[in-house]
Amino acid sequence: MSPIIPPDDSLLPKWLSSRLNVDAPLEPGEPLYQALYEPLYTNDPDDPIQLIFQDIAFNEVQSLNFISGFRGSGKTTELFRLRKQLQDDDYFVAYANALDYVLPSEPVDISDFLIVLAGSFSDSLADQLEVDPVKESWWTRIVHYLTKTKVDLEGFDVKVGGKAAGADVGLNFKTSLKQVPSFRQKLREKMAPRLGELRNEVQKFFVDAIKLAKKKSKTEKNVVLIFDQLEQLRDALGDKAPVADSVTSLIGNHREDLQIPSVHCVYTVPPWLKFKLPGLPTRLLYNVKLCNNDDDRTRNGAGWTTMRNIVERRFTADGMRRFFGDVGPHGASPLADQLIRFSGGHFRDLLRLLRETLLRSRKLPITREIMNSAIVNLRASFLPIPVKNAFWLNEIGAKRDSLLKDTSAESIRQMTLFLDTHCVMIHRNGNEWYDVHPIIREEIEEIVKREQPAPQAPAST
């Protein structure tokens, strides 16, 4: 059903704003999903969601998938698409948001990660199926285990049978694990010599939980755990990178622990991990490409169609016409196209540009000046670009490669920052390739041209 668009132009910006403001992940089936969301990779042989789905389908018992994507690129919405597709195919899918269990600014350790993994599965089970939150909860189990094995957490009351009991105990444990660094640290210290034991406890829990899930959801297929937002773990500003190091160690040294037996595990991991762990098989939710990887950056029709559809879904055909004025076939509007071009195929940057035009739209349709002003404003947020970075970025744009010199913390941090702030975008058609965000290309070229050392005259002989 077509959305009801206000007939009065003075009310249109508010209506459009409410549609642009939907930036939380959308689930297939939600009314807004169909209205607003354009799946980014459908009909693409490289569709990472489809590839993961196939991997799970081909591996009957268990599988381990890593998926990586950029901030604001619609990653979680894509993972919801995967979940929906799996559920439609009779899988029981547990989805967990890592940020519900860990603080993104704190390093993660294998012992507390295993605890969190089991806990997140347990919570998902409790959310989706009717299970006993005390008897069948992982959180109760872990407290029992610690009590039974007399692990003294020195000052932290996690004993069963105290004032707090049952679900409260588990809840306290879960909250402390996330919020209280000293508690987590103490737990790590105590668990370090008992890692094997903890691993067994976790696996035993999963065996029981999978049985329960299959029984309650009446499926024969093995279960899937999607553990999202792990890539959000990142270091605060500064020279040291304890969080990044801990994530690298977790994925690099404990892969066997991340493969829960009889579970299809899907983890989101940070894009920079590919530089630290080059052999890690990771599916990348790459940026929509508006151009091809050739010298002239020739236009990529499929990418343009996707981005135009995103605009049209949010604005509707009527809204497009009233807001942008001249709209041709297939949602092609000169002004909207210019915004798409400067979004570089980045989903959130496109929405941001649209919103900037909306804020300036006192009269409809908008003018070219308003569009330019929106672009200038977005560009300002990328500036200033230090000269050193400009040279690197310029080379990336020219060679379409990351040109990462080494895997030192400094290089990785800088590249991560480039990716996080969308200065650099990763695309693929066949192979992965890199490019600089179009909104800063000219700026970078200017800096490089300006700062390029003058060619030295050949020495006379």
Partner 1 sequence: MSQSAPEYLAELYRLEELEGWQLLARHLELTEGFSFVVVLAPDDAAVAYLRSRLPDLVGTPEAVRRVVFDPAAGAGGLAESLLDMSSLPETIRIIWIDADAVDPEQIPARDAAWREALARLNRYRNTLQERFRCTLVMAGPFGLQKFLREAAPDLWSIRSLVCRIEAVGSARMIGEGIFSLSRDREDMGLPGDPGDPAETLAEAEKIRGKPGREILLAQLLHRTGRQAYRRLQWDLALKCLREAFDLEEAHGGDPELRFELANDIALLFHDLAKWDRAFHYCRRALEIAENHFGQSHPMTATALNNLAALLQATNRLSEAEPLIRRALAIDEARLGKDHPSVASMLSNLAQLLKATNRLADAEPLMRQALSIDEASFGKEHPRLAIHLNNLAKLLRATNRSSEAEALLRRALAIDEGTFGKEHPKVAIELNNLAELLRATNRLVEAEPLIRRALAIDEASFGNEHPRVATDLNNLAAFLRAANRLTEAERLIRRALAIDEASFGKEHPRVAIELNNLAELLRATNRPAEAEPLMRRALAIDEASFGNEHPTVAVDLNNLAQLLQDSNRLAEAEALLRRAVEILDVFGKQTGYEHPGMQKAAANYRRLLEALGKQPGGSGPDVV
Q: Residue 32 or residue 131: which is nearer to partner 1 going by CB?
A: 32
Q: Residue 197 or residue 442: which is nearer to partner 1 going by CB?
A: 442
Q: Residue 150 or residue 450: which is nearer to partner 1 going by CB?
A: 450
| Contacts to partner 1 by CB under 8 A | 13-14, 17-18, 20-21, 23, 71-72, 99, 103-105, 232, 236-237, 348, 351-352, 355, 358-360, 373, 376-377, 379-384, 417, 420-421, 450, 454
The amino acid present at 2, given as its one-letter code, is: S
Q: Residue 264 or residue 352: which is nearer to partner 1 going by CB?
A: 352
Backbone torsions φ then ψ of 163, nearest 5 degrees:
-65, -45
Nearest distance from C-beta of residue 7 to partner 1, angstroms: 18
How many angstroms separate the CA atoms of 28 and 167, rounded? 32
Residue bearing tokens 């071009």: 341
Nearest distance from C-beta of residue 379 to partner 1, angstroms: 7
Q: Residue 195 or residue 417: which is nearer to partner 1 going by CB?
A: 417
Q: Residue 42 or residue 381: which is nearer to partner 1 going by CB?
A: 381
The DSSP code sequence of 217-263 is HT--SPEEEEEE-GGG--PPSSS--HHHHHHHHHHHH-HHHHS-TTE
How many angstroms separate the CA atoms of 264 and 5, rounded? 43
Q: Residue 237 or residue 459: which is nearer to partner 1 going by CB?
A: 237
Comparing CA positions, the residue from 440, 82, 69, 439 lying closest to residue 287 is 69
**CA dihedral (217, 168, 117, 97) positive or negative:** positive
Q: Residue 22 or residue 126: which is nearer to partner 1 going by CB?
A: 22
Nearest distance from C-beta of residue 359 to partner 1, angstroms: 5
- For 306, residues 6+ apart whose C-beta sits below 8 A from its C-beta are 38, 40, 288
Pairing of strands 424-429, 431-436: antiparallel
Nearest distance from C-beta of residue 96 to partner 1, angstroms: 14
Nearest distance from C-beta of residue 289 to partner 1, angstroms: 21
Q: Residue 253 or residue 452: which is nearer to partner 1 going by CB?
A: 452
Nearest distance from C-beta of residue 364 to partner 1, angstroms: 14
First-to-last C-alpha distance (Å) of the chain: 81
Comparing CA positions, the residue from 225, 281, 267 lying closest to residue 108 is 267
Nearest distance from C-beta of residue 381 to partner 1, angstroms: 6
How many angstroms separate the CA atoms of 57 and 74, rounded? 24
For residues 191 and 111, the answer to whether their CB atoms sit within 8 Å is yes
- For the range 373-380, what are the long-range contacts, defined as Cβ-Cβ under 8 Å and sequence gap of 24 or more? 374/339, 375/338, 375/339, 375/342, 375/439, 378/342, 378/349, 378/352, 378/353, 378/439, 379/342, 379/439, 379/440, 379/443
Nearest distance from C-beta of residue 394 to partner 1, angstroms: 17
For 120, the 3-state DSSP assignment is helix
Comparing CA positions, the residue from 188, 307, 206 lying closest to residue 250 is 188
Q: Residue 114 or residue 393: which is nearer to partner 1 going by CB?
A: 393
Nearest distance from C-beta of residue 24 to partner 1, angstroms: 9
Comparing CA positions, the residue from 228, 227, 286 lying closest to residue 51 is 286
Which regions of 161-239 does DSSP assign to beta strands (E)? 223-228
Nearest distance from C-beta of residue 215 to partner 1, angstroms: 34
